[in-house]
Amino acid sequence: MNKDQTKKRIAIFGSTGSIGTQALDVIAAHPDKFSAEVLTAQSNDELLIRQALQFQPNIVVIGDEKKYQQVREALASTDIKVFAGARALDEVAAMDCYDLMLAAIVGYAGLKPTLKAIDAGKAIALANKETLVVAGDIIMQKAVENRVPVIPVDSEHSAIFQCLVGETRNRIEKVILTASGGPFIGRKPNYLVNVKREHALQHPNWSMGAKITIDSATLMNKGLEMIEAKWLFNLRPEQIQVVIHPQSIIHSMVQFEDGSIKAQMGLPDMKLPIQYAMAFPKRIPSDFPRYDFKKVSTLTFEEPDTRTFRNLALAQEALEKGGNLPCVMNAANEIAVFAFLRNRINFLDMTDVIEKTMQKIPFIEKPSLEEYFESDGEARNFAADIIKL
C-alpha cells in the first residue's frame, strides 16, 4: 500500500475494455478508497484520453505506437506521463507506482505484463483468464515465490474464491462452474451453421466485449474457465464440473468433502466481482442492483451439450492432457474468433480450426516459458494458414 495508507492505487491494464471501464466506474464511486494510477489501452486512443483527463493517472500507455502522438498532445497540459508500445506495457507493469494490477487486457497479450507485475511483487486482480490458460503453472509458481495474491475477477472464479474464504483447512471435493449457455442454448448444428456475428454477439445476460461474448456463445469461455480454475484453486481435472444455469444468478459453487455445497449468488453484474477484488479483503458498500427473492424465478440446471458445442470437449481434453495443449488451443481460438468476427469463417468452422491446430502442433509435457511463447506463435500461424488470413 502507498505511504499514506488512504487509497489503494490501481493500475488498469486494459482500461478501455468492458472490465476496465466498469472498474473505473467503481473507482469513481469510491474516490476515498481507490485511485487510478495507470491506464493502458491497445488502440482506443480517444477513450483512453477521456479516461486520463477524468481520472488524472500517473501514467498512460497506448499499445499502438502510431497513436502515441495524439495521446501525448491531448494530455500535454497535464502531468500525466505517456508511453507507447508493448515494451512500455511491460516496463510500466514492473514499476513501483501502484499497489494492485487489474489485469484486463484481452487474450494472450495480457500474459507478459502480468508476469512483470508478479515479479515486482504486485497484487493481481485477474480478469484475463488466458494468462492462466497459457502458462498457469509458471504464473502460480511465481505468485507463490513472490508472495503475491492472485484474486480472480471472472464472476465464476470470484464466486469460488468467495465461497472458500474461511475454508482454508477444509478439503474441496469439487467446484461447479455455472454457464448461461449463451445465446444458442438448446440449438443444434443445423441451426448453428448459419449463425452470423451479430447473432453471436447478443448475449442474453451479460454485457461483455466481443471476444468473450463469442467465446460464451461457443462455450469455449467455460472451457477456458475450467483450466483457469485448475490453477487458481490447485484442482485436479476431475474436481471441476460445468453445469448450464441459464438465469446466471448462481455464479458458481464449491462442494466440500462432507457433501455440503456453498454457492455465491447475485444479479449478473461484473462490477461486483471487480469491486470485491479491488477492495479485498474488505467488502465495501455498493449501489449495485440486488436480487429480489420476492420476485424469484425458477433456477434451473442442466448438463452442457458437448456434442453440439465441441469447444467445451476440446477444452476438457486440453485440461486433462495439460502441457502446452491449453496454450495451443487458446492461440487457435483467438485466431478463429478474430476470423469469425470479420466474417471470414462461419460459427462451426471455429471449432474445426481449433481441433486441427491442437492435433498439429507438437505436444510438450513440461514447457518452459519460452516454449509456451513458441507454441503460441506456431499455433497462431497454423490456424491463420487454415483460414488463409
Cβ pair 102, 16 in contact under 8 A: no
- Coil vs helix vs strand at 387: helix
Beta-carbon contacts of 210 under 8 Å, excluding residues fewer than 6 positions away, are: 201, 341
Q: How many CB atoms lie within 10 A of CB 323?
A: 17
pLDDT exceeds cutoff 70 at 189: yes
Phi, psi (degrees; rounded to nearest 5) at 154: -45, 135
Rounded to whole angstroms, how far apart are CA atoms 368 and 375? 10
5 — pLDDT class (breaks 50, 70, 90): low
Q: Residue 384's closest CA among 336, 349, 312?
A: 336
Residue 49 confidence (pLDDT): 98
Q: How far apart are CA 209 and CA 106, in angstroms?
A: 9
Lowest pLDDT segment from 105-109, 143-147, 216-220, 313-317:
105-109
8-152 domain in CATH 3.50.50.60? no
How many angstroms separate the Cα of 185 from the Cα of each of 95, 210, 315? 45, 18, 18
Question: DSSP 3-state assignment of 154?
Answer: coil
How many angstroms separate the Cα of 322 from the Cα of each of 47, 120, 128, 134, 227?
39, 28, 19, 10, 9
Region 45-61: mean pLDDT is: 98
The confidence band for 199, taking pLDDT boundaries of 50, 70 and 90, is confident
pLDDT at 166 over 60: yes
How many CB atoms within 10 Å of residue 344? 13
Tell me: pLDDT of 3 over 50. no
- Residue 112 pLDDT level (bands cut at 50, 70, 90): very high
Indicate whether 379 pLDDT > 60.
yes
pLDDT over threshold 80, residue 263: yes
Q: Averaged over 236-262, what is the pLDDT?
A: 97
User: What is the predicted pLDDT for the residue at 339?
Assistant: 96
Contacts 24+ apart (CB under 8 A), 181-186: 181/219, 181/244, 181/246, 181/304, 182/216, 182/217, 182/218, 182/219, 183/217, 184/217, 185/244, 185/246, 186/305
- How much is the pLDDT for 210? 86
pLDDT band at residue 202 using 50, 70 and 90 as cut-offs: confident
Band of the pLDDT at 107, cuts 50, 70, 90? Answer: confident
3-state secondary structure of 36: strand
pLDDT digits (tens, 9 = 90+) for 316-356: 999 999 999 999 999 999 999 999 999 999 999 999 999 99
Q: Is the pTM of this model over 0.85?
A: yes
Cβ of 137: how many Cβ atoms within 10 Å?
Answer: 16
pLDDT at 198: 86
Indicate whether 296 pLDDT > 80.
no
Q: Measure the CA–CA gap between 311 and 327, rounded to whole angstroms.
A: 14
* Cα–Cα distance, 13 to 94 (Å, whole number): 12
The pLDDT score that the predictor gives to residue 312 is 97
C-alpha cell belonging to residue 279: 477492495
pLDDT band at 204 (very low <50, low <70, confident <90, very high): low
Q: Per-residue pLDDT for 255 more than 90?
A: yes
CA distances from 316 to 42, 218, 225, 368 (A): 31, 14, 11, 22
pLDDT at position 207 is: 64
How large is the average pLDDT for residues 110-119? 95
Contact, 351 vs 313, CB < 8 A?
no
Is 206 a residue whose pLDDT tops 70? no
Residues of the chain with CATH 3.40.50.720: 8-152
